[in-house]
Amino acid sequence: MTIQIGDRVPSTNFVKVTAEGPQPVESDAYFAGRRVALFSVPGAFTPTCSAKHLPGFVEKADEIRAKGIDEIACTAANDFFVMKAWGAASEVGDKVTLLADGNGDFPKAIGLDADFSKFGMGTRGQRFSMVINDGVVEQLNIEGPGEFRVSSAEHMLESL
C-alpha cells in the first residue's frame, strides 16, 4: 500500500553522505522534530535526475528553506560511494543531504518502489517528493511513469 498524507514514515535505514564518510541513519531519528523536504530519484547519474531533479533542489534550496523547511534530502537506491560521487559531481555542497539506500528499502516500505529491470537497474524508487513533518507525511507528490513535474523543486516551492 502506498503511503498517504498524514501517515507516519516507516522505520528504515539510510546511509548519509558526509565529509567524514558514511553515517548510518535511522529514519525515525532523522525525521524526528523537524520538517524535511525529501525527494527520491530512480538513480544517481541518470539523465533527468542529474540534469533537472537534483540541480533544481540545489538551485532552489534557500527559497525552500525560507518556507519553513529544516533540511532538503535526496534518496536513491544507490550505495554511499555512488551518492558521494554524484554529490561531488553535482556540487551539492550543504544545499541537499544525500541519503543512500542501496537496497531500496525506503521506497519498498512506503509502496513507491518500481521495477526498472528493463533498463538494467533492478528495483528502485519511483520519482517522488514529500514534506515530512516530525515523521509524518505532510505533502506527497508522485510522478507518473516517465514524467517530471510534481516532484520538482519548483512544484514543491509553489506548494509550500
Where in the sequence numbering do the catalytic residues fall?
49
Q: Which helix (H) or strand (E) holds 106?
A: helix 105-109
Which is it for strands 97-100 and 71-76: parallel, antiparallel or unpaired? parallel
What is the DSSP annotation of 80-105? HHHHHHHHHHHT-TTSSEEEE-TT-H
**Cβ neighbours for 145, distance < 8 A, ≥ 6 positions apart:** none
Neighbours of 17 (CB within 10 A): 24
The widest CA-to-CA distance across the chain, in whole angstroms, is 40
User: By the 8 A CB rule, do 39 and 129 touch?
Assistant: yes
